[in-house]
A and B are shown apart, each in its own frame.
Chain A
Amino acid sequence: MKRLLDIFVIVCMIFIYGVCWSQSLVLTGAGATFPYPLYAKWFYVYEKITGVKVNYQAIGSGGGIRQLINRVVDFGGTDAFMSDKELSRSPAKILHFPTCLGAVVITYNLPGKPVLKLTPDIIADIFLGKIKKWDDSRIAKINPDVKLPNLDIVVIHRSDGSGTTFIFSDYLSKVSKEWKERVGRGKSLNWPIGLGGKGNPGVAALVKQIPGAIGYVELIYAGQNNMPVALIRNKSGHFIKPTMKSVSLAANISIPADTRISITNTDAEYGYPISSFTWIIFYKEQAYNGRSKKRAKALAELFWWMIHEGQKYNEKLLYSRLPEAVVKKAEAIIKDMTYNGKSVLK
């Protein structure tokens, strides 16, 4: 018993020592789960290079925004940029910059795993429950080479609130007036039809199990699991296959200075239409709650690294790189960070 107690005390001391020791500089972040694999890689590499530890908790975009507003973390991560209303609730000015691009792809379960082409109005009508069978004449018309079965379409959507749903519904709201009025955009929706699966794996499991199912997942998830994905007609009339390249191309449009823009249904000629940035959010003025200048500087340097050197890790992990023009915008935003009114990076 006494020995057990001794061991316990030693373990506690090691733990406390570890915490105190590493407290020298640990930056904390919380938020979006979508870029988590990339962030984990980045922060691991960054710690090796600079010794600055970054602790990022993937608790979801909503949680990231809440924790930044409550000033619990140094930065947040979010898949949907904060609305003006949300920004007005924060105690001080919050800045956004994008770190990488992701996309939502449409996957399905059809015999023979054909490659389907879909148009925005067909997608909207399938998810509104207006197209009910796979051999519908509208789908058949743009897929003359595919033998479509006489199967019921079973719509699968996310049951949990998610940035993926936000991006998808944002796209549908732009391309379909009826969708915008009946359903709208959001992280959880009042779905007209369909079944819900929890997370990308939940949606994928249901799509795989139900013949005739159609659902949407992140590009990365579909890529890792070899799921069939649909080509989607973009604004310029091209059918675009979702790849890292076509997603990156989607950002080749004019971006506002604060980078808060939805790039779904992009104007870019060869861009994949259901693409989106994911953002890091932070306070413009870093001197709050007694934070040190050293901390602010470390944060700015980390951000700088993420949009430059960090980008080379993106494609290995199936995330699209930021286009050069967007990196320039992000640079300006990071340079905008201040400590007691003086800019942190020169």
Chain B
Amino acid sequence: MEGIKDRIFRFLIFLCASTVILIAAGMCITLFINSLPVLKHMGVSFILSSDWDPVNNKFGILPFLVGTLITSFLSLLISLPFSISTAILLGEYLRKGRMAIFLQNIIDLMAGIPSVIYGFWGLLVLVPIVQKVEIKLNIIPYGVGIFTASIVLATMVIPYTASIAREVISLVPDDLREAGYALGATRWEVIRCIVIPHAKTGIFAGVLLAFGRAIGETMAVTMIIGNRNQIPKSIFAPANTMASAIANQFTEATSDIYVSALIGVGLVLFMVTVIINYAGRYIIKRLEIK
């Protein structure tokens, strides 16, 4: 009897696991097939042209691609000091006690807030502040743009990196820490020379997860990025991202080639995510060997 149960169980988990793979592959294939018309129509200039003109059936997605990459990387850059500090605080200094639980809860809460609320906050609170800065710097006070969007994205991704980094930091064996202290290291030296090197692959995985969130964020970004389909010339300039372009234009896209172009944007977004994930895996591996 045990054997049959075992076999059924094995069959079931194989079935479920392969379904997941099938769905992922299916999505990729659907995106590819549906974007074929626009790829044929535009060729390489689909990715290299910065001319997005649905009226004349010209679809160049370079501005969206650039906008997506800049906002995602910038937001990671802004968020990193905050998320790593939070993780070290929770993993090293405040490992137990009410304060630790309270902080951890707040971080989890931040991860759970719907993105449209971040967008609102950005539009109502952050935009006027950025406008004041822009007036001081003597540029047109749009308020919305890459800078504002990156700050809001950074706020959104902090909990992702922070939670995972805290987890891996607290997994660093205490023996190592104690050995460091025994050798006369200060707390700072222990963190810098023992804890961080030991936890860096895990921290990097957290950063990768945060990147995935930042690159696909739609609602919050579309509210505060300015939605201008041009390659941004400065950090305060309005721009657009791939996810935001799809969400904005899909409902009213009537012609077949237009729909295909938007699906093509989806395909590129998918590819970028895959590439960055693989690059990330590669870096993690390199980090592990050292």
Contacts and interface: CB of A to CB of B under 8 A. Distances in A.
B54 A211 contact: no
Interface stretch (A59-67, A262-270, A324-332): A59-67
**Most chain-B Cβ atoms within 10 A of its Cβ — which of A62, A196, A206, A211?**
A196
A188 interface: yes
A161 B55 contact: no
Interface string B57-87: 0100000000000000000000000000000
A198 interface: yes
B128 interface: yes
A190 B54 contact: yes
B142 A161 contact: no
Contacts of A210: 131, 141-143
Given A61-B252, A62-B252, A62-B253, A198 B54 contact: no
A198 B248 contact: yes
Given A183-B55, A191-B228, A195-B228, A161 B248 contact: yes
Given A63-B252, A186-B54, 5 more contacts: A62-B253, A160-B249, A188-B248, A189-B54, A195-B142
**Most chain-A Cβ atoms within 10 A of its Cβ — which of B128, B140, B142, B252?**
B252
B234 interface: no
B223 interface: yes
A184 interface: yes
20 contacts: A61-B252, A62-B251, A63-B251, A66-B254, A86-B254, A154-B140, A154-B142, A159-B222, A160-B248, A160-B252, A161-B253, A184-B56, A185-B55, A188-B252, A190-B51, A196-B240, A202-B223, A206-B144, A210-B131, A210-B143
A59 B251 contact: yes
B145 to A, nearest CB: 8
Contacts of B250: 161
Contacts of B240: 159, 196
A195 B238 contact: yes
A162 B248 CA distance: 9
B252 A198 contact: no
Contact of A65 (B51, B140, B144, B254): B254
Nearest to A186: B55
A159 B227 contact: yes
B73 to A, nearest CB: 23
Interface in B125-184: 127-128, 131, 140-144
A189 B254 contact: no
Majority secondary structure of chain A interface residues (helix, strand, loop or mixed): loop
Interface string B243-264: 0100111111110000000000
Given A196-B226, A202-B223, A190 B55 contact: yes
A247 to B, nearest CB: 22
Contact of B55 (A184, A194, A211): A184
Top 10 A-B pairs, shortest CB-CB distance: A196-B227, A161-B252, A159-B227, A190-B53, A60-B251, A184-B55, A186-B55, A62-B252, A160-B248, A62-B254
Contacts, number: 96
Given A209-B128, A209-B131, A197 B227 contact: yes
Interface residues of A, number: 35
Nearest to B53: A190
Contacts of B131: 209-210
Contact of B144 (A152, A163, A184, A195): A195
B211 to A, nearest CB: 24
A205 interface: yes
Interface in A301-339: none
Contacts of A183: 55
Nearest to B245: A159
Interface in A172-200: 183-191, 194-198
Contact of B127 (A191, A196, A209): A209
Contacts of B229: 190-191
B32 interface: no
A198 B222 contact: yes
B52 interface: yes
Interface in B215-234: 222-223, 226-229
Contacts of B247: 160
Contacts of B123: 205, 209
A196 B226 CA distance: 5
Contacts of A195: 142, 144, 226-228, 238
